[in-house]
Chains A and B, each alone.
Chain A
Amino acid sequence: MTANPTAFTSELTRDGRVELSVRPAVRRLLKDWFGFYLPATVIALVMLFPFFWMISIALRSEPEIYTYPPHIFPETIRWDNFARIWSDPRMKMGLLFWNTLIYATVRTFLQLLLSSMAAFVLARYRFPGRDAIFFAILATVMIPHEVLVIPLFVIMKHMPLAGGNDWLGMGGTGWLDSFKGLILPGIVSGYSIFFLRQFFLNMSSELEDAARIDGASEFGIYWRITLPMAIPALTTLGVFSFQFAWSDFMWPLIITNSDHIKTIQLGLAVLQSSEGTEWSLLMTGAVIATLPLISLFVLLQRFISTGISFGVGR
C-alpha cells in the first residue's frame, strides 16, 4: 500500500546509475502522495459515500433519520434492524432473498450449460452452415431485452397446458407468476455463446484429440476436458450472469405478482412506493440486497477484470 517504505531507498535509474541522494526520493514520495494517494482517497470517499450512507441509515432508529442537522454516524447502532427486517411481515426479507438466490443461481447455471454446449459445437466441429448459424446467434445479441418484454409476457401467459391454460394457451395464466416464467426466458444468451466460443477457439484442442484417440465419448470430452479447462471463462461469465439476474428489475416486475416468487429488488421498490416507508428498514434491505454482489465481486475480482477487458458488459 505504501508507495515507498523509506525515503532513503536507492534505485536504479534508466541509464543504469545508482541514485543515492535523498532529495529526489523525498520529492518522488511527496509527488506520489499529493499527486495520487490524497486525491485518489478523496475520490474513493465520494464514490463510496452512498454505500456508507446506506449502512449508516440501516443501523439507525427510524426517528433518528429525521433529525436535523443529519448525523453522519448513528447515535446508537441498531443491529436489531437486521433481525427485525427478517421477521417484518411487510418485507418478507427471507423469502425475497431466497427467491432472488434461486432465480439468479438457476438462471446462471442453465445459461452456462446451454451456452457452453452450443459454443463447444460451434468451436470444435466442422459442418456446413456453421458460420451462418454463428452469425444468426450473434445477430440476436442486437435485440434489446426491453423490446422483447411485451411479446415474452404474452407468450408466457399463453403457454399451452400451463397455469390452467388449454392446449391453445387460452383460459389460464400460463407461466405468469411462476419460477418457470421468471427463469426460463433468460437462460440462453447469444452473448454467452459468442464469449465461450471465442474462448474455446483460443484453447488448444490437443487434449481433446488425445482423448478421442483414447476412445473417450464426445460427451465425456465436453464434460471432462473442455468444461474444466474453461473454468476461468465460465466463472467470469457466471459472475456477470449472476449479477445481472440478482439486480434485474424489469422482468421480475412484469412477470411476478405474488410474494412467493417476487425478487428482492422488486420487494424494495414496491415497499418504497407504498405509504409509510420505514427508511431505516428499507436501507437494511438495501444492504442485504447489495452485500452478496459486493462480496462476490471482491472474491472473484481477478476473473471479473479479465472479463471486462474481454468486453463482457451486461
Chain B
Amino acid sequence: MMGLNRQKIILGSVFLGLPLAWLTFFVVFPILLVVYLSFTSYDILGSPKWIGLLNYEDLLDDDVFWTAVLNTAYYTIVTVPVGMALSLLLALFINRRLPGVGFFRTVYYAPVVAPLVTTALVWMLFYSETTGLFNYLLALLGFAPKQWLSSSTWAMPSVIVMSIWKGLGFNMVIFLAGLQSIPRELYEAASLDGAGSTSSFRYITLPLLAPSTVYVTITSIIASFQVFSQVFVMTGGGPNNSTTTIVHQIYRTAFVHLEVGYASAMALALFVILVAVSMVNLRLVARKEIYG
C-alpha cells in the first residue's frame, strides 16, 4: 500500500510538474515579461531601458494606432452580426432530417478547415482589378470596375467578405448543436396551439438558442479582435492604413520597426480589451446554467 502511494506521488509530480513548468515558462512568465517590457524602450539588440508610462502616453497620441483600433472595431461591427445572422440562417436551413444533409454540412464547413493564408490568396485573385471575377461580373452587369483591395473605401469590406465566408461554417455548427438540443415536442405543442413558423421561431427557437448565441457572439468578437493573417496577406495594412488592425500594428511595431517596448504596450491594451470581453463571457456563461 505504501509502495503504491509512493509510486503515485512520483508519477503525479512528474506528470503534472512537467506541463506546469512548461505553462509557467511559456505562458505565465511571458505575460509578466510583456507587462515589464511595456514600461521600457527596447529594440531587442540592446537591453531594455525603463521609461515608465511613456509608451502609454505615446499610445494616446498615436494616430496610426487609433486608426488600427477603429479599423478593428469596423471589422468587428460588420463581421460579427452579419456572420452570425448568415450562419444562423444556414444552421436553420440545414437542421433537417433528410438523407444527404450530412454531406452539405461537411461542404459548408470546408472553408473553416482550409488554411487562412491560402484562402486569402484565392480571394486576392477574385478581387484583382483587371482579371478578377468580381470586376468581370460587375462589367457584365454594366458597372464600372472597383479597386477592391487598393482603395481605402473598398479594402476593408473586401477583407470582411472573405473573412465572413471563411468563418461561416464554424458558427453554423455551434448553432446547429444548439438547435438540435431544443426538444421537438415544444414545436409540436406550439403548432397544436396554432402557432405559425414565425412565432415558434420568435418564442421557442430564439430564446432556447440564447446560450449558443452568447457563445458565438463572444468567441466571434474575440476572434475579430485578433484578425491578422488575411490583412497581412491581402493588403499589408494598406492602402493608407485603411486595413491595419491592432494585431497587425503590434506586429509591425515590434518586428518591422523593432520598437518592442512600445509594441508591448499595444499588446497589453489588446489584452485588457480581450479580458473585458471574456469577463462578460464568464458572466453570461454562468447565466447560461439557468437556461440549461
Is A40 among interface residues, defined by CB-CB distance under 8 A?
Answer: yes
Q: Mark B258-283, 1 if CB is under 8 A from A, else 0.
A: 00100110011011001100100000
Shortest CB-to-CB span from B21 to chain A, Å, is: 9
A161 nearest CB across to chain B (Å) = 15
With a CB–CB cut-off of 8 A, which chain B residues contact A222?
A: 11, 15
- Give CA–CA (A277, B229) in the complex, Å: 19
The yes or no answer to A258 lying at the interface (CB within 8 A) is no
* Chain B residues with CB under 8 A of A272: 121, 124, 233
* Cβ of B155 under 8 Å from chain A: no
Select the residue from A47, A50, A54, A212 with max chain B CB neighbours within 10 A.
Answer: A50
Given known A117-B18, A150-B37, contact A212–B165 (CB-CB < 8 A)? no
Q: Which of B1-38 contact A (CB under 8 A)?
A: 4, 7-8, 11-12, 14-16, 18-20, 22-23, 25-31, 33-34, 37
Q: Within 8 Å CB of B208, what residues of A?
A: none
Q: A290 to B23, Cβ gap below 8 A?
A: no
B172 to chain A, nearest CB (A): 10
> Contacts A54-B118, A150-B37, A151-B31 hold; do A121 and B12 have CB atoms under 8 A apart?
yes
Shortest Cβ distance from A279 into B: residue: B125
Q: How far is the CA of A193 from the CA of B268 in the complex (A)?
A: 26
Q: How far is the CA of A214 from the CA of B258 in the complex (A)?
A: 61
Q: Does B149 belong to the interface (CB within 8 Å)?
A: no
Interface footprint category on A: 35 or more
Report whether B19 and A146 are in contact in the complex, using a CB–CB cutoff of 8 Å. Answer: no
Q: Tell whether A188 pairs with B22 under 8 Å between CB atoms, given A144-B222, A249-B232, A286-B118.
A: yes
**Cross-chain contact B113 with A268 (CB below 8 angstroms):** no
Interchain CB contact under 8 A, A286 and B121: yes
Residues from chain B with Cβ under 8 Å of A54 in the complex: 118, 122
State the CA gap A39–B18 with chains docked (Å): 52
- Which one of B61-69, B92-100, B194-202 is at the A interface? B92-100
Given contacts A70-B131, A146-B250, A273-B236, contact A155 B114 (CB under 8 A): no
A105 interface hit (Cβ, 8 Å): no
User: With A50-B122, A133-B20 in contact, do A146 and B226 touch (Cβ < 8 Å)?
Assistant: yes
Confirm or deny: B148 has a beta carbon within 8 angstroms of a beta carbon on chain A: no
Contact assessment for A265 and B8 in the assembled complex, using a CB-CB cutoff below 8 Å: no
A187 contacts B16, C-beta separation under 8 Å: no
State whether the Cβ of B153 lies closer than 8 Å to any Cβ in chain A: no
Contacts of A69 in B (CB 8 A): 136
Given A50-B165, A140-B27, A218-B7, is A40 in contact with B115 using a C-beta cutoff of 8 Å?
Answer: no
Mark B204-235 against chain A: 1 for CB-CB distance below 8 A, else 0: 00000000000100010010001011001100
B107 within 8 A of A: yes
Least CB distance from A256 to B in Å reads 12
A48 touches B219 (CB 8 A): no
Q: Which stretch from A73-81, A82-90, A294-302 is at the chain B interface? A: A294-302
Judged by DSSP, the binding face of B is helix
Question: How does the 8 Å CB contact mask read for B149-172 relative to A, with 1 for contact and 0 for none?
Answer: 000000000000000010011100
Question: Chain A nearest CB: distance from B286 CB in Å?
Answer: 14
B37 touches A294 (CB 8 A): no
Q: Are A121 and B136 interface neighbours, CB within 8 A?
A: no
Q: How far is the CA of A308 from the CA of B108 in the complex (A)?
A: 14
- Encode contact with B along A293-314: 1 for CB under 8 Å, 0 otherwise: 1100110010001001101010
- Per-residue interface assignment for chain B, residues 237 to 264, with 1 indicating a CB less than 8 Å from any chain A CB and 0 otherwise: 0000000000100110011000010011
B residues within 8 A CB of A308? 170, 173-174, 177
B117 and A147: CB pair below 8 A? no
When chains A and B are docked, how far (Å) is the Cα of A65 from the Cα of B130?
A: 11
For residue B138, CB closer than 8 A to chain A, the reply is: no
Return the contact of B31 from the options A44, A120, A148 (Cβ within 8 A).
A148
CA distance A268 to B255 in the complex (A): 20
Least CB distance from B91 to A in Å reads 12
**Which 10 pairs across A and B sit closest by C-beta, in order of nearness?**
A151-B30, A247-B115, A151-B33, A286-B118, A117-B15, A118-B19, A265-B117, A188-B22, A218-B11, A151-B34
A-B contacts besides A149-B267, A190-B23, 19 pairs, CB < 8 Å: A1-B103, A3-B99, A47-B168, A115-B19, A121-B15, A122-B16, A125-B8, A137-B23, A144-B226, A145-B226, A146-B226, A147-B34, A147-B268, A188-B23, A246-B115, A247-B114, A253-B232, A265-B117, A313-B219
Give the A-binding residues of B (Cβ under 8 A). 4, 7-8, 11-12, 14-16, 18-20, 22-23, 25-31, 33-34, 37, 44, 90, 93-94, 96, 98-100, 103-104, 106-111, 113-119, 121-126, 130-131, 133, 136, 165, 168-170, 173-174, 177, 215, 219, 222, 226, 228-229, 232-233, 236, 247, 250-251, 254-255, 260, 263-264, 267-268, 270-271, 274-275, 278
Interface residues, chain A, with chain B CB atoms under 8 Å away: 1-3, 32, 36-37, 39-40, 43-44, 47-48, 50-51, 53-54, 57, 65-70, 114-115, 117-118, 120-122, 125, 127, 133, 137, 140, 142-155, 157, 184-185, 187-188, 190, 193, 212, 217-219, 222, 243, 246-247, 249-250, 253-254, 265, 268-269, 272-273, 279, 282-283, 285-286, 289-290, 293-294, 297-298, 301, 305, 308-309, 311, 313
11 contacts between A and B (CB under 8 A): A2-B100, A50-B122, A51-B110, A118-B20, A122-B16, A133-B20, A143-B31, A150-B37, A150-B254, A268-B118, A283-B122
